[in-house]
Amino acid sequence: MSDQKTITDLKIISAPWNKTIKLQNISYEGGMNMLRFRIKEGKRFTDLELDSQSLEQLNAVLSNWLTLNIKKS
């Protein structure tokens, strides 16, 4: 994998317990794209980069959880 990449900020989410989640598209030279979750807790950063197959699985789990836990108005 090449070190040449383009980073595009997509969304910043304020999360509970004073955390910030920044979602970024990472485009590597050669056409590979990944979605980066950058979680900031105080001075600490945790980066998680996922490909489309991993995100598809994560999306299914998140969608199911949300369906079960969303507050109904």
How far apart (Å, rounded) are the C-alpha atoms in residues 55 and 26?
A: 14
Judge contact between 24 and 38, C-beta under 8 A. yes
What mean pLDDT do residues 3-21 have? Answer: 94
3-class DSSP state of 17:
coil
Q: What pTM did the predictor assign?
A: 0.81
64, pLDDT greater than 60: yes
Residue 72: pLDDT band by 50, 70, 90 thresholds? low
71, pLDDT greater than 90: no
Alpha helices in 1-73 (DSSP H): 52-69
User: Residue 45: its pLDDT value, please?
Assistant: 96
Sorted by sequence, the CB contacts under 8 Å of residue 30 that are 6+ apart come out as 2
Instruction: Report the chain's terminal Cα–Cα distance, integer Å.
Output: 47
65, pLDDT greater than 60: yes
